[in-house]
């Protein structure tokens, strides 16, 4: 069964260091999402891609966070420099597209990357 892949699963880093997370969506899925989930809370959207284009990055702290999806397939989320408050689960999700049938927009989530900043 097709799945969203993420790596690494766990990352421990010191503050002020750079970290990067990778996501490979389900094959053929045009829309890719990066979420941040702080312990005890629901996920919040950081950035949304449609193919290689950013659709929504209004909640992305752009002074330290960047995201790219150069070929419209896999994606990388980077934090530089990391801060203590960045400790969270970073989730990637994908869906077939943004328009059309409701099922076209069902999001499938990856296992997440748990980041701990010391």
Shortest distance, CB of residue 71 to another protein, whole angstroms?
23
For the chain, how are helix, strand and coil distributed in percent, rounded to 5? 5, 45, 45
Residue with tokens 């929504």: 56
- The helix/strand/coil state of 65 is strand
- Residue 81 CB, shortest distance to another protein, in Å, is 26
Element spanning 31, H or E? strand 31-37
Among 19-27, 60-68, 72-80, 98-106, which window interacts with another protein (CB under 8 A)? 98-106
Pick from 2, 56, 80, 85 the residue near another protein by CB under 8 A.
Answer: 56
Query: Are the C-beta atoms of residues 6 and 76 closer than 8 Å to each other?
Result: no
Q: Which is nearer to another protein, 16 or 57 (CB)?
A: 57
Going residue by residue from 21 to 40, which x/- string records binding to another protein, judged by CB under 8 A?
-------------------x
| By the rule CB under 8 A, 95 interacts with another protein | yes
Selected from 28, 51, 106, 118, the binder of another protein by CB under 8 A is 106
46-75 in b/e form (b: 16+ CB < 10 A) is bbbbbeeeeeebeebeeeebbbebeeebeb
Which residues would be at the binding site for another protein (CB under 8 A)?
6, 40-45, 48, 56, 91, 93, 95, 98, 102-103, 105-112, 114
């Amino acid at each position: 069964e097709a799945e969203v892949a993420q790596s690494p699963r766990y990352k421990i880093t010191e503050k002020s260091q750079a970290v990067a997370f990778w996501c490979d969506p389900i094959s053929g899925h045009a829309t890719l999402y990066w979420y941040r989930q702080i312990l005890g809370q629901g996920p919040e959207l950081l950035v949304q891609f449609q193919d290689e284009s950013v659709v929504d990055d209004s909640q992305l702290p752009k002074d330290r966070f960047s995201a790219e999806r150069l070929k419209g397939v896999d994606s990388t989320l980077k934090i530089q420099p990391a801060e203590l408050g960045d400790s969270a689960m970073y989730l990637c999700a994908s869906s077939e597209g943004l328009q059309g049938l409701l099922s076209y927009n069902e999001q499938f989530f990856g296992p997440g990357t748990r980041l701990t900043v010391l």
